[in-house]
């Protein structure tokens, strides 16, 4: 969408560089909070994010910016090449009903055996993370979730999504996420972890099993790709972030990009490298690593 032309035609002052503006973003004064600067950005992927108050749905945001009703925004967006934007905004307005797969229940012998093989304490994880398990028959909206450990994803005190890990190691997709139509908040717009236990220092990892291993100081981005929303939440929650991605070249390249994005938001950042996957560490090794990583910042 040609947001620059739209802003010019409607007399909206915008910024392409300078304070609070990331490369490729178009920023204005936020219409959602008491912004005294230009914190509301329109990303290259077509999302509105304020670096003070977070992600905002497209239709409602354009309605506020242009001071027109939401019913007219679709036609306005189309005039500026906003076909994809319109489709995304319609999804933003949807009211999803969150639901877990069928055939789900407490962890059974096979689930605990898998966790034990990964050097986890199944009873502790079940208690601390609310893990559940599925058997040979489990479906949700046409997708099979059989033979998986299901990890609920919570945000701001409510369950909003889930991720399911295959325990057979035979499935092509080791992880399957909650269908988007069942998510109350898209999992890539938030972080996986225990918000209530976070402190000044956060350890950023890729996946949920890494968080289980490292404990309450850790949080995950659900893969090495990260979103502007996730960067915002990191900058809001932590003064210091240690990035602990896998050792592969692509993962380390993403770690560098994330570090740059966080430093732009005045977050102190360190990239720490280890051999292998954090989730595969012995628990004693993981505990020592967390102690060392967090101690260095004090």
- The per-residue pLDDT for range 21-37, each reduced to its tens digit, is 877 889 999 998 888 88
Mean pLDDT, residues 57-68: 84
Show the DSSP H helices in 180-248 as ranges.
208-214, 228-237
Give yes or no for residue 20 having a pLDDT over 80: no
- The structural domains of the chain, ordered by start, are 3-92 (3.90.580), 104-187 (3.90.980.10), 195-295 (3.40.1360.10)
Q: How far is CA 294 from the centre of its chain?
A: 22
More confident residue, 85 or 187: 187
pLDDT in tens, 167-211: 998 888 899 999 988 998 899 999 999 999 999 999 999 999 999
**How many whole angstroms separate alpha carbon 21 and alpha carbon 15?**
7
Across 215-222, average pLDDT: 96
Biggest CA pair distance of the chain:
64
Q: Do 33 and 50 contact (CB within 8 A), yes or no?
A: yes
Cβ–Cβ under 8 Å, residues 184 and 98: yes
Question: Can you tell me the distance from the alpha carbon of 219 to that of 213, in angstroms, rounded to the nearest whole number?
Answer: 11
- Please, where are the H alpha helices in the chain? 3-9, 58-66, 73-79, 83-92, 109-117, 122-129, 208-214, 228-237, 249-264, 283-295
End-to-end CA distance of the chain: 45
Q: Give the H or E element holding residue 113.
A: helix 109-117
For position 216, what pLDDT does the model report?
A: 94
- The per-residue pLDDT for range 132-147, each reduced to its tens digit, is 999 999 999 999 999 9
Closest-CA residue to 138 (of 118, 161, 158, 165): 165
Residue from 17, 50, 16 nearest 31 by CA: 50
Residue 152 to residues 1, 74, 159: CA-CA distances in angstroms?
A: 35, 35, 7
Distance, in Å, from the CA atom of 110 to the CA atom of 71, rounded to the nearest integer, reads 52
The pLDDT, as a whole number, for residue 39 is: 87
DSSP one-letter code for 227: -
Residue 177: what are its φ and ψ, rounded to 5°? -90, 170
Q: Mean pLDDT of all residues in the chain?
A: 88
């Amino acid at each position: 969408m040609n947001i620059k032309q739209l802003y010019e035609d409607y007399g909206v002052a915008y910024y392409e560089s300078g304070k609070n503006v990331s490369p490729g973003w178009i920023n204005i004064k936020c219409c959602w909070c008491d912004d005294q600067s230009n914190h509301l950005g329109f990303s290259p992927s077509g999302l509105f994010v304020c670096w003070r108050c977070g992600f905002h749905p497209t239709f409602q945001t354009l309605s506020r910016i242009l001071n027109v009703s939401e019913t007219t925004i679709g036609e306005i967006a189309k005039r500026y090449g906003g076909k994809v934007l319109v489709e995304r905004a319609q999804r933003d307005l949807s009211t999803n009903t969150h639901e877990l797969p069928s055939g789900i229940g407490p962890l059974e012998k096979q689930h605990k055996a898998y966790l034990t093989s990964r050097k986890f304490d199944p009873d502790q994880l079940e208690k601390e993370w609310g893990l559940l398990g599925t058997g040979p028959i489990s479906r949700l909206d046409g997708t099979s979730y059989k033979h998986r450990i299901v990890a609920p994803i919570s945000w701001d005190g409510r369950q909003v999504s889930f991720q399911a890990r295959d325990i057979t190691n035979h499935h092509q997709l080791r992880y399957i996420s909650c269908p988007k139509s069942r998510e109350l908040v898209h999992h890539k717009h938030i972080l996986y972890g225990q918000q209530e236990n976070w402190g000044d220092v956060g350890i950023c990892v890729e996946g949920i099993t890494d968080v289980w291993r490292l404990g309450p100081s850790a949080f995950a981005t659900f893969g090495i790709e990260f979103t502007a929303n996730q960067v915002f939440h990191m900058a809001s929650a932590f003064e210091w972030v240690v990035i602990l991605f896998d050792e592969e070249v692509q993962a380390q390249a993403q770690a560098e990009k994330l570090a740059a994005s966080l430093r732009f938001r005045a977050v102190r950042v360190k990239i720490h490298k280890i051999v292998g996957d954090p989730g595969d560490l012995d628990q004693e090794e993981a505990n020592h690593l967390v102690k060392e990583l967090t101690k260095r910042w004090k």
